[in-house]
Structure 1
Amino acid sequence: MGKVLKENGVFPTGRRILIVEDNERNLAMTVEMLEVHNHQVVVARNGQEAIEMAKQHKPELILMDIRMPVMDGLEATQRLRAIPEFVNTPIIAMTAKYRC
């Protein structure tokens, strides 16, 4: 995937990114931030969907929520790492706690 940070004053664009998030507010914010830089964003709502979407779309980066229904992000990450084509795919864990 190369450098994610700004290089020569330019941010990378057009990357295939899988966002795995079940919270609508977090999802909307993350998608909006990534689409500003013309990234191709694919969304999964739980870990099981993440595995299916990763196989289908071959993302260059995965942003993985930790706490989700059906299958949590830790288990989904372990299962993805067991698939040879995702051994080196960057997976960044995300989590948020809201105060009510």
Structure 2
Amino acid sequence: MDNQEITCPHCRSDIPYGANVCRGCRAEIKYGTPKFFIWLGLLLPVVVGYFIARFLHLTIGAGETIAWVVWGIVTLAGWYGCIRVCKRLFRNHVSFTRQTNR
């Protein structure tokens, strides 16, 4: 997005892409994946991997070592997948946060 401008939703100022602060209203500009999705992408594979490993251990009778290996593989694969999905979904995501006067 070289030489492109974005418009601030608060003051309607045109700002060059890559700026950190709006020139018109001083709103903070952030690019990329929101923090909520980063945390979700870190925690969800850990939990899913745990339940898959527990299922294998308790119902199929897989050994504890196998269950831990499966948990690790599912967690790492989930992290990798979440990173790829978030980069694709939020590649053009721009958020503006304006501070309120207190």
TM norm structure 2: 0.22
Between 1 and 2, higher relative CO (CA 8 Å, sep ≥ 6) is seen in: 2
> What is the TM-score with the length of structure 1 in the denominator?
0.23
More strand by share: 1
Structure label with greater radius of gyration: 2
